[in-house]
Structure 1
Amino acid sequence: MAIEGSLTSVDIQDVVQLLNINKSTGSLLIDNKETKGIVFFSNGEICDAQVHSLSGLGAAYVLLGQSSGLFRFHNENHNRSRVIHKTIHDLVLEAARRKDTIQNIRTRISHNNIIYLPLVDVRIPSIAKKYSPLEKKMFSLLDGVSDIQQMIDKVGEGEFETLHTIYELEQRGDLKRVNIYKLLEVHPRKSLFKSPKEVVISEKIMDDWDRESALYSGVDIVEIHTQKLLYGQVKSIVKEQIPDNHILIPKGIMQQFQISENDRVLVKPIPLSAY
């Protein structure tokens, strides 16, 4: 049995229940702009799933929580072993619960340009024993540079586990949210002599970063994110006389990042410890 359609007109729950009733064996492909993955069925039961770098139960919850995009089921004898042992009913209910939880957390963590710093040191055994392995892993990856999306990628447990853990740690006062991204207006940096290699930011921006954490004190590397989704790290210097919402960028770097005068870019500091 081959079925296909759009998840905007057919609920994913109805699709998997139909495959369960028909005791289907094969792969259910789910594809939208943000999520593309496969749910594997064996005799009507979900035996495995894969989405991006996530597999197994976590991947199944992600895919069963989709409400948009296209789906297509292929009848085929795959060689996937059964690593998921929950019923379709339980999987669908848990996927719905996780989707609701993520939506609630996203009212607090509303975008991915958020960076956290740990307020506890889990290298101390008496402190470490209070935390789960995932929480300790989270602390070790919070480097003052990685934003939410980068943390999701690094942790490797999917959006739900990462966001839920960060949210719980923040609620308990174990994490500090740092406001280091700056939205700055681009202006060319001009020089009468040799072509400069550094971007220029204001002294106030450097002071703001220093107040957020000593981790950012004296940084001379910044990361630039453009509206065209290009990003990269460049050397920076500080000058007192430029406006606080400006960044002066040499012409060569402007060409490299495909940015023009008066464009706006997101800029964050890269701590010395991250080099």
Structure 2
Amino acid sequence: MAIMGSLKEMSLPDVIQMLALGKKTGVLSVTNRENFAYIYFEDGKIIEARLVSKENRIGEILLKNGIITEEDLKRALEIQKEKKIPLGDILVEEGIVDEEKLRDGLKKQIEETLFTLFTWEDGYFNFEPEVYPQEKRVHIQVNPEDILLEAARLFDELKVTRLPDRDMILIPENPDVEMDEKERRIFSLIDGKRSVEEVVAASGDEEFEVMKVIISLLGKGAIREGEKKKLTREKELARIGEHENLGIAFLEMDMLDEAEREFRRIVEIDPSSLSGNFYLSLVKFRKKEYEEAERLLKK
């Protein structure tokens, strides 16, 4: 039996705890209308969690930890385009990482994904039983209780209710506040020009670890958020795949306005995009806007 509802009525930690106690197997889809995530359960344990906007997060995690190189990741992504199998499986099959290191990385991906989702106060969830993720060579199970306890501790410690937008420019405000060594190092990278994403990249550390430091610095008043940084053409094009994945996820949930927004962003970046115009026409058809759907198909 499907379970669905609003995150305003039932928080995500409560939903996860309910599924864990009921030893449920299936997929929990979660959206805050801007992003989309899937959490897969097996007998109440979490076996996979991923944000649609970060399909290859495991590669980034292994890269940041020095387990693979940029060349390794690039080669694995090229193979993935051909074979259409999980990135982690390719890394193991090619002898780039062993199963134990991949297992640690996958666990880290689950933790980071859930910590991000726990900041979503508004949105919707939907649980479908007996739905499994794509079969993988390396299988893990994570106890939700452990993550829920760690998240509660972390959020209480940082007094965090949301994560800063990755495109937001960070501005140094007060260099004299008390900072530990890690905070001081991240603070030195914040120059009033770099966005959150660029500070993370410049640090060379794992994204979520840097985000925790940024949240701490914001809380102390050492830095503040500025305006959103205008994306370069290269970055805009790189995000087309992200918008397409999000749009398809929203379309599958019948969230047509959100799907249209994502596909329209593709067309704004690349007006000649065949997939962007096709999916946009599909949304218009589902909305019974037939003339507009036909016009888009003729493009």
TM-score (norm 1): 0.45
Q: 1 or 2, which has the higher helix percentage?
A: 2
Please say which structure displays the higher CA radius of gyration: 1
- Structure ranking higher on relative contact order (CA contacts 8 Å, 6+ apart): 2
Q: 1 or 2, which has the higher strand percentage?
A: 1
